[in-house]
Structure 1
Amino acid sequence: MDKKRVKAQPPEDHDNKLSYGRPPEVAAGIAAIKSSLKHVFGEVGIVGGTKALLKLNQFDGFDCPGCAWPDPDKHRSIAEFCENGAKAVAEEATKARVDAEFFASYSVQELSEWSDYEIGKSGRITDPMILKPGSSHYEPIAWNDAFQIIAKHLKTLPSPDEAIFYTSGRTSNEAAFLYQLFVRQYGTNNLPDCSNMCHESSGAGLSETVGIGKGSVKLEDFNLAEVIMIMGQNPGTNHPRMLTALEKAKQQGAKIVTINPLPEVGLMKFKHPQNVNDMLGGGSKITDYFLQVRINADVALLKALMIMLYQMEEENPGTVLDHQFIANKTAGYEEFKVDLLSHNLNELINQTGVSEQSIREVAELLAAKKEDYHLLGHGPYSA
């Protein structure tokens, strides 16, 4: 790969360049394809960029560094990536390089004022870099010298457990595997990765409530769901490949409830870049019920929904709640019910900023399940 010298410039002043307008009405489509190719071909070249995209998320290729959306276990399409994934690959495989001259030109203080995007677009470093005591600039250092400095410091620690070795989600599986071997040979398991750092709170909460610290469903479960509730995430922005799974679930008859302070475009309407009908037509509607909740009012909304479900069960016992499942697979239900019923439904609704009618429509949707999913042999709690 040819090196491309980068003459990065200090960030521009964007304060006077802000503009706003109506958001687009549909996500993905031709615009996403053009944007993806522009970024990849612009930074990697047509030949190298095409090769990288054809290997992205394939069985004989490499995982996308953009997000952790699961890949299908069986068939994978020729383009098993989204616009975000293409941009991530472009930055990882870019021909742009920053060398000693670059770091001599910009001090640590100057670089600290750049955005992550501006630093990332400057290119890949060509050598290990070191910031010496009292220096204002990074300087290149030979690999052997860098290893010696690290080893000398590690040897001074009274215990290996005083060191922490962090790995980023952008690290390849192969590099992370070798790294953890080194760390364990050094004598410690202090090896947190981005999943630990990002999902520690959710992992602890899930372990306490459902007994497992991560997701308990598979990608194929989307095809069997009657209702999918999207809350606390922005799939169209953060992991757009989920939109294809949601579109497929819709085709199977699923209803999709979106809870978000903003109507994210991708969750309103989506044009599948590999679906001719979508591309030529107006796209697929994704969301059936949109609850535009106030910021920080998610818990109030969930409690309002649960109170409504409980009231429906009281009016028609055995038609809403699965008491056998509650008795055999859960604990603390009575305490939970006492806490739930201590809240005033009208006050909770007022906190959400969502109309009572809209919330009640979703509650009725959840109550009107056709099957007990966990009894079908598909769910995480199936016998």
Structure 2
Amino acid sequence: MSNDKPQFAPYDAPSGGWGSARSLGDILTRAGVPISGALALTRQNKVDGFQCVSCAWIKPAKPLPFEFCENGAKATAWDITSRRCTPEFFAKHRVTELLDWDEYQLEQTGRLTHPLRYDAASDRYLPVSWAAAIAEIGRELRAIEDRKSAVFYSSGRTANETSYLYALFARLYGNNNLPDSSNMCHETTSVALPLSIGQGVGTVALDDFAKADCIMFFGQNPGSNSPRMLHPLQEASRRGVPIITFNPLRERGLERFTNPQSPAEMLTGEETRISSRYNQVKTGGDLAALTGICKALVDLDAAEKAAGRPSVLDEDFIARETHGFADFVAWLGQEDWDEIERRSGLHRGALEATAHTYARAKATIGIYGMGLTQHRAGVETVRLLVNLLLMKGNIGRDGAGICPVRGHSNVQGQRTVGITEKPELAPLDRLAEQYGFEPPREKGYDTVEACEAILDGKVKAFVMLGGNFVRAIPDHSRMEPAWRKMRLTVNVATKLNRSHLVHGEISFILPVASRIEVDRGAGPSSQALSMEDTSGCIHGNKGVRAPASPFLISEPRLVCEIAKATLDPNPKVPWDRWAADYAEIRTAIAETYPDIFHDYERRMWEPGGFQRPLPARKRDWKTDTGKANFVTPKGLVEDLDMPEVGHDSFRLMTLRSNDQFNTTVYGYSDRFRGINGTRLVVLMNRADIDRLGLKVGETVTLKTVSKDGIDRVRPGLLVVAYDIPVGCLGGYYPECNVLLPIWHYAEGSKTPAAKSIPVTVHRDSGRAVVPAMEAEPA
């Protein structure tokens, strides 16, 4: 949404280049920090600086002079903006009024400066003292008899130290209700990988990119979501490494790149081809596509051996290190090529070509993102990608491995230190001994289960440590009314967002310092925090900016203060000492997780950080079989509960623009897709537009196809012709989340299946669009 007239024009330039440079200058100017912001960026992702508050891409041991990307710079500028959202702002605007503002408008108000409490009489947030706010939160949490009725959510930006305290607080309170942003994106990874390779994270380090001789991409867009990744991809492409991409949309970052940090490239306009082969798989068709590649590889292997040539599979590795291969091959033999082509949307020849390229490679990296994880069959699809890598021994080998690209900057790290709803993943016995209490052993709520409990009226209090939960979750039209029925909502934040406005009976906004800011804690070690990147490396973080307001406090201190106000005193839990010195928190973390965090204080400042143990990198398989497992899928159907895509139904995938990160929207320019001035669009194949008798620029309503009797609609979407497979649609997240049912999630992980939502298209007049081939004669 924007006041500007929407504009749609193809963007022909590569990713990076002058487009990126101009975007950087624009965001620094809009944030009011054109000079100081540029200086701060020189410390981003440096050993003595701060880790990017945006994505979790790998922080190198030898950083570039400007070790940040366009979106990372936008996130920094957004944090250090000169704009302030003060009590005077709330005096001018009632909450009901602010509900009509969109994400960009809300966050454009600037950094929150004072703790606030909702006042129902005036429908405004009013300033409150820290002491009063913390005391009331403590009283409300203590008053809840059923401790399962409180939920403790955390955003992926939260540092290791804060996350550890927060998880301990929840368990001391009495539950494992610790949903986090991982539930919404890579929980599928956390469920899929342990059965296959014995660990819940990837196996690839940054050095592997320099050693790989084949790279395969599935459902990941580095140009918008992790642009620093384009540097190792550019180097690989220049070495002649084939980069094979499977993605429904042609994303510019996977096509062409001009390095904005190279003066020569900027002056000459030199471009590097990224993908050597680009396969526009149908939305939800990755399961079938991977099946086709594996089937073609088995057929190729049989042909080579029949001709007296060596096997293209790593037979020694399969025999020595894996389990279940024979069953998997038998399943592949039963799958029909016609069905594989129909469900993947790709020709057999394209899948066989991929298999031939893969067969010739000695070291392959398999990269994926939420294009695989946010599907009903996401868990099976990730395991099938692992199967493909195992067929040639591409796990536990230099230059090879599985590489899930995590989203938020510390979403992986907070899991490492205890943020999980699954009691079996937390060291509860060690915590019991360390802190002298009996931790709860019952499974807590994940994101979907928390939403279901809120809808059922079972949740009395919701504490949100960062993030914009109400806007990020599915089923907005149902969730927002239910959210208002909760007794207590606590919002820990740096900026205003919609979750603060959809409030409970008692609601607080508690502003905290950003990790970019200098912490005014008691000791020198209180200036430091730590995070984990997507490769499992843990890094130190030092703030470089003065706090946005003298009334801000740090997240670790806030968690300690709320815990003290809520819980009975425990001499083994030194909240005051932790609040004063974060090195003390790291000592406690190392005591809980000695195998990972020994010598924590020193190692986190090593260039490149220190890597947590990743057994599968050494072919140490922590699985039930003691080997890497080939897991056989149940079939090729992505979603048994939903209708097939036909003439009148489509598969909608939600997307981020290159002008946003998660629910944070930096502007209305999706440069790479040529969409400016609006986010209310639906991307459609031209053939579908013509078949339905629509016109580009016409507004339509999307309606979810489901059998639960609930109408889920998203009106007012402008039709945009786009290079997307027939039968598939694209729309922006979070605007299209209203179309995603709570129960439409990945089997096994409960990650919302936002990348394949069955919908129908209707003209905004309310009249259904009838396909031309089925229309009644005039």
Report the TM-score, using the length of structure 1 for normalisation.
Answer: 0.87
Correspondence for 2:90 among 103, 112, 121: 103
Question: For residue 118 of structure 2, what is the aligned residue in structure 1?
Answer: 131
Correspondence for 1:63 among 39, 51, 56: 51
Residues 151-190 of structure 1 aligned to structure 2 (within 5 Å)? 151-158=138-145, 163-172=150-159, 175-176=162-163, 179-180=166-167, 183=170, 190=177
> The residue matched to 2:49 in structure 1 has which SS?
coil
Unaligned runs of 5+ in 1: 1-10
* CA pair 185-95 structure 1, distance change in 2 beyond 3 A: farther
Q: Name the CA distance, whole Å, in 2 between partners of 1:116 and 1:133.
A: 23
Correspondence for 1:330 among 322, 338, 344: 322
Question: For residue 211 of structure 2, what is the aligned residue in structure 1?
Answer: 224
Letter aligned with residue 272 of structure 2: S
1:116 aligned onto 2:103: yes
| Identity value in percent | 36
Q: Report the Cα offset of residue 107 of structure 1.
A: 3.0
Question: For residue 206 of structure 1, what is the aligned residue in structure 2?
Answer: 193
Q: Name the CA distance, whole Å, in 2 between partners of 1:134 and 1:273.
A: 53
Given that 1:293 and 1:352 are in contact with CA atoms closer than 8 Å, whether structure 2 keeps it comes out as yes
> The residue matched to 1:258 in structure 2 has which SS?
strand
Cα RMSD, aligned residues only: 2.5
Question: For residue 21 of structure 1, what is the aligned residue in structure 2?
Answer: 9
CA deviation digits over 1:115-142, x for unaligned, max 9? 2222111211121122245663222221
Q: Name the CA distance, whole Å, in 1 between partners of 2:150 and 2:395.
A: 44
Question: For residue 348 of structure 2, what is the aligned residue in structure 1?
Answer: 356
Residues 12-91 of structure 1 aligned to structure 2 (within 5 Å)? 12=2, 17-72=5-60, 74-91=61-78
Q: Report the Cα offset of residue 281 of structure 1.
A: 3.3
Given that 1:40 and 1:89 are in contact with CA atoms closer than 8 Å, whether structure 2 keeps it comes out as no
The structure whose residues are more often strand, as a share, is 2
Correspondence for 1:301 among 262, 286, 289: 289
Q: Report the Cα offset of residue 173 of structure 1.
A: 5.1
Correspondence for 1:314 among 273, 282, 302: 302
Question: For residue 366 of structure 1, what is the aligned residue in structure 2?
Answer: 358
Q: Report the Cα offset of residue 334 of structure 1.
A: 2.3
Letter aligned with residue 295 of structure 1: T
* CA pair 289-209 structure 1, distance change in 2 beyond 3 A: same
Q: Name the CA distance, whole Å, in 2 between partners of 1:225 and 1:161.
A: 48
Q: Report the Cα offset of residue 226 of structure 1.
A: 1.1
Q: Name the CA distance, whole Å, in 1 between partners of 2:126 and 2:97.
A: 15
> The residue matched to 2:244 in structure 1 has which SS?
strand
Range 144-153 or range 373-382, more displaced: 373-382
Letter aligned with residue 63 of structure 1: Q
> The residue matched to 1:164 in structure 2 has which SS?
strand
If asked which structure has higher relative contact order (CA below 8 Å, sep 6+), I would say: 2
> The residue matched to 2:193 in structure 1 has which SS?
helix
Q: Name the CA distance, whole Å, in 2 between partners of 1:161 and 1:77.
A: 47
Range 150-159 or range 23-32, more displaced: 150-159
1:287 aligned onto 2:275: yes
Given that 1:223 and 1:252 are in contact with CA atoms closer than 8 Å, whether structure 2 keeps it comes out as no
> The residue matched to 1:46 in structure 2 has which SS?
coil
Given that 1:70 and 1:219 are in contact with CA atoms closer than 8 Å, whether structure 2 keeps it comes out as yes
Q: Report the Cα offset of residue 381 of structure 1.
A: 4.5
Unaligned runs of 5+ in 2: 364-392, 401-615, 620-778
Letter aligned with residue 123 of structure 1: G
* CA pair 45-343 structure 1, distance change in 2 beyond 3 A: same
Q: Report the Cα offset of residue 109 of structure 1.
A: 3.2
Q: Name the CA distance, whole Å, in 2 between partners of 1:13 and 1:35.
A: 20
> The residue matched to 1:149 in structure 2 has which SS?
helix
Correspondence for 1:256 among 243, 262, 269: 243
Q: Name the CA distance, whole Å, in 2 between partners of 1:54 and 1:173.
A: 24
Given that 2:237 and 2:272 are in contact with CA atoms closer than 8 Å, whether structure 1 keeps it comes out as no
Q: Report the Cα offset of residue 278 of structure 1.
A: 2.3
Given that 1:65 and 1:169 are in contact with CA atoms closer than 8 Å, whether structure 2 keeps it comes out as no
> The residue matched to 1:166 in structure 2 has which SS?
strand
Q: Name the CA distance, whole Å, in 2 between partners of 1:117 and 1:42.
A: 12
Range 167-176 or range 28-37, more displaced: 167-176
Letter aligned with residue 167 of structure 1: S
Q: Report the Cα offset of residue 95 of structure 1.
A: 1.1
The structure whose residues are more often helix, as a share, is 1
Correspondence for 2:226 among 239, 245, 248: 239
